[in-house]
Structure 1
Amino acid sequence: MQQGRLDMYNRLLPTAHKGWLYLEEIFNRVFSPRFNPLYYLGAISFFFLWLVLVSGIYLLFYYRINVDEAYKSLEYITNEQWYLGGIMRSIHRYSSDGLMLAMLLHLVKEFLNDRYHNWRWVAWVTGVVLIVTFWAAGVTGYWMVWDQRAQVIASTTTKFADFLPIFGEPLQRAFLSNGAVSNLLFIGVIFIHLSIPTLLLAAAWLHVLRISRPVINPPAALNWAIGILLFIMCLAAPAASKMPADLSVAKASFGIDWFYLPIYPLMYALPVWYSWSIIVGGIALITILPWLPRFKRLPKAEVILENCNGCELCFKDCPYEAVFMKKRSDGRPYEFEAVVAEEKCASCGFCIGSCDFHAIDLPDRTEKDINEEISNLLKLPASEPKILAVICNYGVNVKGLINPDTRALKDMPHVRVLHLPCIAMLQSSMMEYAFKAGAGGIFISGCEVNDCHYREGNKWLEQRLLNNRPPVLKKKEVDPQKIRAAWMSAIHRDRFLDELKGFSNELKAKKVEKKMILHQFIKERLTVPGIIILALAAVVTLYISNTPYTFFGEKDSLLIFSFKHSGKPSKVQKALSEEQLAKLPKHMRSSAEVVLKRFPVYAEIYVDNKKVLARSFKPAGLWENGSSFAFEKVVTEPMVHKITIKMSESNNTDKFDYVYEDTVDFKPGMAVAFDFDEKENRFFIAR
């Protein structure tokens, strides 16, 4: 049952869950539920996404896809056209940070609130895809600037990618020296960067595909506040490039954007396989969370066709588009009939609460079952007016307060508790039945405003109680003054008891002092304290997106060793005779010998006669008959060093085919790259 799943969840993450609810409570006091940004994280993400797309289109008109011009083109719009291009660049940068922050908080919130299992798996998985995809967009965006930060991103990313055995030549060799960087590589990067928005829009569409009436726009006041603060950030701390990329410079110390680049210090410092394990394993674990542990799916709603008149109320109220209408199939004089899409059904009970004709039910808890439960709860004697407390499974936590034998509150025995999957399952006829069964009043407790576990439960029930949405209360059968509804989260136990005691006292005194619907922290506009909190969030975001970090200090130097060279053949297929060639198709006839396998290439490096590297490099190819590749980095002390490189084409550790010796001045914070010239068969310093 849902309560059992909730109990398990509360045992696993009680502290984090309560901490988040207390944070929401603080924000509710400052912003009110109407403007609480924690209730609009998905919509705020969409707001930032539109800003990113619009500003990105503008920047594209000025960007030059060229190694030599990319940096200059961005410097031009940043400095020469600061009043528009510079602001657009800053909007693009800070909106991207805001988008990533909003998406991550949205992910955390849904996880802590247990809103990712069963029917929600599509939204969860596409949400993870959105985060990973936009992360890739952010990384390629930083790469396109081609400054010092982009240089580190490029070299680290290619090192990470080279772990996969799908590239013939290591991608790292494309960044061996300034002369090695190709415009073709930039074209590939910008192609990825521009293709990602298409994937983002597709994933965003899938993300809300199973949601009725998705909220993709925050309240206008929030939009204005966030937009104005973003503009102030752009003026106060405009986005700027670092020093131009220079592959002869190893020193790398700059502000790092922890929203997009948190894994780069890890990838830079740790072995590649370790980074792959952490990153891929972490993403995979987060992605499969909806199935860990695998909960038993609850029975889905079923339509009682003989009672259905095709009124469409269940179709309109369903929060996940699990109910749809189709042409009548039983010949009855109605145009449509309701049908439940089981794979989308949340078993929330919305449809039961919306149907005034008893035409839809949950198999494990029918409307008849609930009425019998109400009757049993209220038939027990009480000295005070009996109150039926109807509580949402995901609302206020009353665990430990209820007598398991009578389902009455321990300190208030005249209050009997009825739990429902969602408060929207409470049908008007159920309330009418409760009063007929002896209830002196009904106290309803659902989720906090704008934070219903099933999205719209408290909203729909409130409208029904106020006669603004069918099915409405029949005033001849029900006295509205004997109904009280309050919206609370799991941490509001004390408030729940206080409101319930107050309602009980009003019933005893036969004097109603409060409204039917209880709301807290009502505000008609965004408050100054709320704007201050948003401003503080902007300042923190600004710092996190540009926190100083050192990848490689200026007190050391770097020796880079690389080559592409083929080892000697270790297994050769001899040339075929003329008779053998005649038996083959014409396109397969070749009189040359075929190399089936090659020796690894063995290399040693000495710095001042001290061996710092000794390694064999396997040939590429499935059959190990291709060239061998190397790309190694060795940290050295800044000074003049005698460098000796020895290489054997037959993996011989004693006899070498090529020997290179030179005296090289390693300057602080600089890199010296050694490559092998295949034509001249010698090592040289790459420039």
Structure 2
Amino acid sequence: MTKKLYPERTFLRKIEKIGVAIEGAVNRFAKSDFNPFYHLGTLTIFMLIVLIATGTYLTIIYRPGADVAYATVEKISSTWYGSLIRSVHRYASDAMIILIILHLVRMFIGDRFWGQRWLAWTSGWIMLAMTWLAGTFGYWMVWDQRAQWMTEFMMQNIAGSSGLTYISTDLASRTFSNFVIILFLHVFVPIITFFFINIHSLHLSRARWWTPRWAALQALVGLIVLSLFKPAMSYAPADLSAMVGSVPIDSFYLALLPLADTWGNVIFWGLAILTAGSLFLLPWLAPGRDAGPAIVTDPKCTGCVLCYNECPYDAIRMVERDDDSGYPKLAVINPKLCTACGICVGSCPVDAIHLKGGYSGEQTFGVVKGALKRELKDGNPVTVMFTNQRTHTLGGLPEKLGVGGAESRVGVTSWDGSDAKIVTAMLPSIGAVNIDWVKTLQSEGARDIVLLSHPYRDSPNREDSHWILNRLHLRPALVTKGLHWLEATPNDPKPVEKFLDELHTEEFQKNKPAPSLPRIKDHNRLIPSLVGGLVGTVLLLGLFALALPLDIPAGMSAAEESALRIAVDAKGKVDVANIPEGVVLPEGADPEKIFGGAHFPMSIRVVIDGETVFDEVFKPSGVGGNGRISALEFLQVESGAHFVEVFIKDDTNEFRNVFSDEVEFDKGQVWALVYNEKTDTFELR
């Protein structure tokens, strides 16, 4: 069965056309060589380097602890260079999230998430989660009102003793270990991200790690401009005895928390896990189909290693031959790593490789030669154009070229009613063009040969433009006036039509320009024009500036009222002691202290001004019901004086009153009632 050379999922292709159109708009001003959208992956790595560099300075000065954290952060911001470094650190963290998401979206709409690309896809999501986690910790470390808002969320939504630390009378010493752990994670997680970057590129040959110098400079300028325009600022210091009013939160890191508060933990985390899990497992939930894998015809293979050298996905290995072919090596393709890009098909000088799904370079070229001979026999000048199915699928070819789909990959048409004919061959990629085809077509009378490529870095197969250019540069005798290299955005047929119109003019044919090919491009050595550099810088600045309007206000739901916390961390009373069978204890021995046992649950009832506002039962932790009883509840209370009573029941007896007093609630004040197991009372703090 003949398969599509490029996946044709209608929905994804429609979205991809939009993405390609945006990239094409940038190309008109900045040229494709300097389009930041083609360097999202390496720009992400650059942001990570910026974060580690600026974070090193911040970590040296920062001191953990509820009593000193805020002061040390303010000390950093008190100098112009400290403020700049802190601000660059903040905006680089947002930029990294933006770049990772854009990179993932670009891979998704380009159908580059399944097959051998599953490892890059899943590791990308892991790196996004790690970046989000590290950035969230960073906001908490400042210990201002934004950090307090995060702490309040944790205390209200994470049950048990984990939040009880923050209502201790000795907050600084009780929470110091928390600060140290979070500081460690904030520093350690980005370092681990480098390890995942290595995993991310395991299935790639010649993975690009470093962003071009010009792109790094543009990104750095964007970060500095944002930092000077709106420096990162702390809010008022955290005060857990007062409600948090409205504070701006970074949507890239903290916007999920208000949703959890609004929807509830079960719905929010259920949807979050379902969505994240579906995206993570997408390579297996929605696999695509291509024309691969590549197949080697063993008797033809000469072991020349050209396919091995050019494969962009490390899918080819050269093994020792054990037959009588006379050649020492044989190319073997790993089908699990092959993406059916066709580059190996174009590299093979003896046509020993084809794609299992129905593409054969030898057969396709045979059709092209047949069409050429027929048209030349009729006395028509012929232009042969090689392109790729992605360009055709996205609408980048003029309709009058008459190229079909999977079943008809070669089309012949007249151009604007003239006698001149164009034979268009649609390949898996432009890298699938065999260099000997050019020589053969030139010798058999083709007037012009056009190699239509997408922009150099806009490749679904990474290096296809690179390798066809490399082959031509190694065979300069083939680069004649009749050979033309054309780069065009895959969804825009206008440049192609304009070029073909010019190509078929009498003036052009009489005065063909000297042959020239683009150089093999080292983007570190390219220097953008003033306009191109400015466009790229403004584009990155605009992307990074999304952090400004997305600083949305958030606060505690009862910020205009007051609140009462109910905190319990108790051993509880034993219901049944776990005395082993046959054991007799001495008189006066406490079986609970010796053997432990299942504890009674604790019922807590809060009555304010004679009205029951809270009545819950808290069970002991542990599989056997013999663990501690922990509770941390948050109750909204109107400002003013209220008579508060607390009753508990932790045995077979009735409820007993453990607190009864009038409490004055000032506007925005938070009181805590903490259970003291020794005195069997609640203490007001």
Q: What's the TM-score once normalised by structure 1's chain length?
A: 0.86
Answer yes or no: is the 8 Å Cα contact 1:178–1:248 preserved in 2: no
Query: How far apart in 1 are the matches of 2:98 and 2:67?
Result: 33
Query: How far apart in 2 are the matches of 1:246 and 1:66?
Result: 14
Query: How far apart in 1 are the matches of 2:104 and 2:247?
Result: 29
Describe the superposition over 1:428-466 as per-residue Cα deviations: whole angstroms up to 9, x where unpaired. 2233444567754433322223101111112222343xx
Q: Which residue pairs with 1:485 in the alignment?
A: 485
Q: Which residue pairs with 1:71 in the alignment?
A: 70
Matched positions, count: 659
Describe the superposition over 1:253-293 as per-residue Cα deviations: whole angstroms up to 9, x where unpaired. 22211222121221233311222113222221221122232
Residue in structure 1 matching 2:131, options 129, 134, 143: 134
Query: How far apart in 2 are the matches of 1:111 and 1:651?
Result: 60
Query: How far apart in 1 are the matches of 2:351 and 2:54?
Result: 53
Pairwise mapping of residues 441-590 of structure 1 onto structure 2 (< 5 A)? 441-464=448-471, 467-469=472-474, 472=475, 475=478, 480-505=480-505, 512=512, 524-527=528-531, 529-530=534-535, 533-534=538-539, 536-537=541-542, 540-544=545-549, 546-552=551-557, 554-566=559-571, 568-574=573-579, 576-578=581-583
Residue in structure 1 matching 2:411, options 408, 428, 431: 408
Do residues 144 (structure 1) and 135 (structure 2) align? no
Which one-letter code corresponds to 1:503 in the other structure?
A: L
Which one-letter code corresponds to 1:290 in the other structure?
A: P
Pairwise mapping of residues 7-18 of structure 1 onto structure 2 (< 5 A)? 8-9=8-9, 11-18=10-17
| Identical amino acids, percent of aligned pairs | 25
- Where 1:93 maps in the other structure, the secondary structure is helix
Answer yes or no: is the 8 Å Cα contact 1:558–1:636 preserved in 2: yes
Query: How far apart in 1 are the matches of 2:307 and 2:63?
Result: 55
Q: 1:3 offset after TM fit, Å?
A: 6.4
Query: How far apart in 1 are the matches of 2:138 and 2:101?
Result: 19
Query: How far apart in 2 are the matches of 1:145 and 1:638?
Result: 29
Q: Which residue pairs with 1:207 in the alignment?
A: 200
Do residues 240 (structure 1) and 243 (structure 2) align? no
- Where 1:395 maps in the other structure, the secondary structure is helix
- Where 2:251 maps in the other structure, the secondary structure is coil
Q: Which residue pairs with 1:352 in the alignment?
A: 345
Q: 1:86 offset after TM fit, Å?
A: 3.1
- Where 1:562 maps in the other structure, the secondary structure is strand
Larger CA deviation: 569-578 vs 274-283? 569-578
Larger CA deviation: 226-235 vs 538-547? 538-547
Answer yes or no: is the 8 Å Cα contact 1:617–1:629 preserved in 2: yes
Query: How far apart in 2 are the matches of 1:576 and 1:593?
Result: 14
Which one-letter code corresponds to 1:540 in the other structure?
A: A
Structure 2 unmatched runs, 5+: 520-525
Query: How far apart in 2 are the matches of 1:608 and 1:376?
Result: 96
Q: Which residue pairs with 1:91 in the alignment?
A: 88
Larger CA deviation: 299-308 vs 33-42? 299-308
Change (3 A) 1:400 1:684: farther
Which one-letter code corresponds to 1:36 in the other structure?
A: N
Answer yes or no: is the 8 Å Cα contact 1:441–1:507 preserved in 2: no
Residue in structure 2 matching 1:395, options 379, 391, 416: 391
Answer yes or no: is the 8 Å Cα contact 1:326–1:339 preserved in 2: yes
Q: Which residue pairs with 1:217 in the alignment?
A: 210
Q: Which residue pairs with 1:43 in the alignment?
A: 42
Pairwise mapping of residues 299-338 of structure 1 onto structure 2 (< 5 A)? 299-326=292-319, 337-338=330-331
Change (3 A) 1:669 1:410: farther
Answer yes or no: is the 8 Å Cα contact 1:35–1:526 preserved in 2: no
Pairwise mapping of residues 643-654 of structure 1 onto structure 2 (< 5 A)? 643-650=644-651
Answer yes or no: is the 8 Å Cα contact 1:309–1:334 preserved in 2: yes
Q: Which residue pairs with 1:586 in the alignment?
A: none
Describe the superposition over 1:605-625 as per-residue Cα deviations: whole angstroms up to 9, x where unpaired. 222222222222222112333
Query: How far apart in 2 are the matches of 1:683 and 1:238?
Result: 45
Residue in structure 1 matching 2:164, options 166, 173, 178: 173
- Where 2:65 maps in the other structure, the secondary structure is coil
1 or 2 for the larger relative contact order (CA 8 Å, sep ≥6)? Answer: 2
Do residues 374 (structure 1) and 368 (structure 2) align? yes
Q: 1:540 offset after TM fit, Å?
A: 2.2
Q: Which residue pairs with 1:255 in the alignment?
A: 248
Q: Which residue pairs with 1:166 in the alignment?
A: none
Query: How far apart in 1 are the matches of 2:607 and 2:490?
Result: 66
Q: 1:369 offset after TM fit, Å?
A: 2.2
Do residues 680 (structure 1) and 655 (structure 2) align? no
Answer yes or no: is the 8 Å Cα contact 2:250–2:547 preserved in 1: no
Which one-letter code corresponds to 1:315 in the other structure?
A: Y
- Where 2:667 maps in the other structure, the secondary structure is coil
Change (3 A) 1:69 1:508: closer
Answer yes or no: is the 8 Å Cα contact 1:484–1:518 preserved in 2: no
Query: How far apart in 1 are the matches of 2:201 and 2:188?
Result: 21
Answer yes or no: is the 8 Å Cα contact 1:248–1:670 preserved in 2: yes
Structure 1 unmatched runs, 5+: 163-168, 582-588
Which one-letter code corresponds to 2:676 in the other structure?
A: D
Do residues 386 (structure 1) and 382 (structure 2) align? yes
Answer yes or no: is the 8 Å Cα contact 2:305–2:318 preserved in 1: yes
Query: How far apart in 1 are the matches of 2:364 and 2:5?
Result: 21
Which one-letter code corresponds to 2:627 in the other structure?
A: G
Change (3 A) 1:643 1:161: closer
Change (3 A) 1:151 1:579: closer
Q: Which residue pairs with 1:165 in the alignment?
A: none
Query: How far apart in 1 are the matches of 2:2 and 2:130?
Result: 33
Q: 1:567 offset after TM fit, Å?
A: 5.1
Query: How far apart in 1 are the matches of 2:4 and 2:329?
Result: 37
Answer yes or no: is the 8 Å Cα contact 1:265–1:551 preserved in 2: no
Query: How far apart in 1 are the matches of 2:603 and 2:548?
Result: 47
Which one-letter code corresponds to 1:24 in the other structure?
A: E
Answer yes or no: is the 8 Å Cα contact 1:323–1:339 preserved in 2: yes
Residue in structure 2 matching 1:191, options 179, 184, 208: 184
Q: 1:557 offset after TM fit, Å?
A: 1.5
Change (3 A) 1:461 1:86: same
Q: Which residue pairs with 2:523 in the alignment?
A: none
Q: 1:367 offset after TM fit, Å?
A: 3.2
- Where 2:481 maps in the other structure, the secondary structure is helix
Q: What's the TM-score once normalised by structure 2's chain length?
A: 0.86
Change (3 A) 1:38 1:578: closer
Describe the superposition over 1:362-386 as per-residue Cα deviations: whole angstroms up to 9, x where unpaired. 3443333223332454465567433
Change (3 A) 1:6 1:611: farther
Answer yes or no: is the 8 Å Cα contact 2:296–2:332 preserved in 1: yes
- Where 1:320 maps in the other structure, the secondary structure is coil
Q: 1:138 offset after TM fit, Å?
A: 0.7
Query: How far apart in 2 are the matches of 1:213 and 1:160?
Result: 46
Change (3 A) 1:23 1:651: farther
Query: How far apart in 2 are the matches of 1:578 and 1:539?
Result: 71
Answer yes or no: is the 8 Å Cα contact 1:268–1:551 preserved in 2: no
Q: 1:578 offset after TM fit, Å?
A: 4.4
Q: 1:682 offset after TM fit, Å?
A: 0.7
